[in-house]
């Protein structure tokens, strides 16, 4: 028999999973308490019990969870510097389509531009993501080529919203750039060894 803590944790996970799915599949405009609860098969009272301010409590928790997950993936490959972190993310786009968690992060980030209350709640998390994902602080000087690669990464992720998005074409475009701005020496070999382990 599940304990109260286990039931509570399961309810929170169901609400977070439903919210992530709605964000990834239908976008921020589809994220209402009613739709979250329907998808999670829970009541609005359950949502408000765990997240009293609705989306303003739920979305920061989800965003933190998703960024932590992406950060853990990056750290597992043991990048040695910010440049290698960006290459890891670009190589990830070569191997798979834009992941639902990335789309969910982008949806929340863009929604906060027009919602001051949401921005107040998520901006500290997004600001910390620069260090957690890229291994930099906001005041770290950045080389132009590294900034160009970050812009490519952000643009590639946003391109999934385009009506003409085709993963194969995105892969070709990223490969084209990587031929001109190759990864740091030894990076590909270390990455291959880490993936094999």
Taken as a whole, the chain contains a residue count of 197
pLDDT value, residue 1:
61
Q: Distance between alpha carbon 112 and the CA centroid of its chain, in Å?
A: 15
Measuring CA to CA, how many Å separate 119 from each of 15, 115, 116?
21, 6, 5
Tell me if 67 sits within 8 A of 125, measured CB to CB: yes
pLDDT digits (tens, 9 = 90+) for 123-168: 999 999 999 999 998 888 899 989 999 999 999 988 888 899 999 9
Tell me if 105 sits within 8 A of 67, measured CB to CB: yes
pLDDT value, residue 126:
94
Rounded Cα–Cα distance for residues 49 and 158 (Å):
34
- Domains located in the chain, CATH noted: 4-196 (1.10.357.10)
- Element at 181 (helix H, strand E): none
Rounded Cα–Cα distance for residues 147 and 83 (Å):
9
Contacts of range 120-129, beta carbons closer than 8 Å, 24 or more positions apart = 121/56, 121/57, 121/59, 121/60, 122/59, 122/60, 122/63, 125/60, 125/63, 125/64, 125/67, 126/63, 128/67, 129/67, 129/71
Q: Which of 131, 133, 141, 122 lies closest to 92 in space, CA to CA?
A: 133
pLDDT value, residue 196:
74
Q: Which of 94, 101, 95 lies closest to 152 in space, CA to CA?
A: 94
Residues in the chain with pLDDT < 70? 1, 197
Rounded Cα–Cα distance for residues 148 and 60 (Å):
29
pLDDT value, residue 197:
67
**The pTM of the whole model exceeds 0.85:** yes
What is the DSSP secondary structure assignment for residue 161, as one 8-state letter? G
pLDDT value, residue 139:
86
């Amino acid at each position: 028999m599940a304990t109260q803590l286990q039931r509570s944790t399961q309810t929170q996970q169901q609400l977070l999973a439903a919210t992530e799915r709605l964000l990834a599949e239908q976008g921020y405009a589809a994220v209402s308490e009613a739709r979250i609860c329907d998808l999670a098969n829970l009541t609005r009272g359950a949502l408000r019990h765990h997240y009293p301010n609705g989306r303003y409590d739920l979305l920061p928790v989800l965003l933190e969870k998703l960024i932590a997950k992406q950060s853990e993936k990056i750290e597992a490959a043991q990048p040695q510097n910010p440049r290698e972190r960006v290459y890891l993310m670009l190589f990830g786009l070569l191997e798979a389509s834009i992941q639902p968690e990335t789309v969910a992060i982008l949806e929340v980030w863009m929604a906060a531009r027009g919602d001051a209350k949401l921005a107040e709640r998520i901006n500290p998390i997004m600001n910390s993501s620069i260090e957690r994902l890229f291994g930099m602080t906001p005041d770290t000087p950045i080389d132009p080529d590294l900034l160009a690669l970050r812009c490519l990464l952000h643009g590639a992720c946003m391109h999934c919203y385009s009506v003409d998005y085709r993963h194969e074409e995105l892969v070709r475009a990223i490969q084209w750039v990587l031929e001109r701005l190759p990864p740091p020496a030894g990076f590909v070999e270390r990455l291959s060894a880490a993936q094999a382990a």
